[in-house]
Amino acid sequence: MLIYNVTTKVSWPIHEEWLQWMQGVHIPEVMATGCFEKFQMVRLLEIDEEEGPSYAIQYYASGRDVYEKYINEYAPALREKTTKAWGDQFIAFRTLMEVVG
């Protein structure tokens, strides 16, 4: 099992609207690709929130093949849509992790 983790710091002015968009639009679109079995969204605690809160969305993939399918076939358009919606009001970084226990 792999976890595709997207950590995002969001500016305070768009925070509430962005959170609703993530839960109501973006995450459902990612899950509709069929590449992930489940997801969870968490808020990072004990970090500097002066510029805005940070969230991590973790998508669980059964293997490298479906993860690669997502990255190659779906991620570019979904990332572009996110950038068009929110501009420079967020910063995101992505990591791939393997469940070992």
Q: How far apart are the first and last CA of the chain?
A: 10
pLDDT exceeds cutoff 90 at 101: no
Are the beta carbons of 88 and 9 closer than 8 angstroms? no
Vertex 5 angle, CA 29 and 15, to 5°: 65
Fold classification of 2-98 (topology level): Alpha-Beta Plaits (3.30.70)
Are the beta carbons of 21 and 85 closer than 8 angstroms? yes
pTM here?
Answer: 0.94
Report the pLDDT value the prediction gives residue 99, as an integer from 0 to 100. 95
**Mean pLDDT, range 42-59, rounded to an integer:** 96
Residue with tokens 């979904």: 78
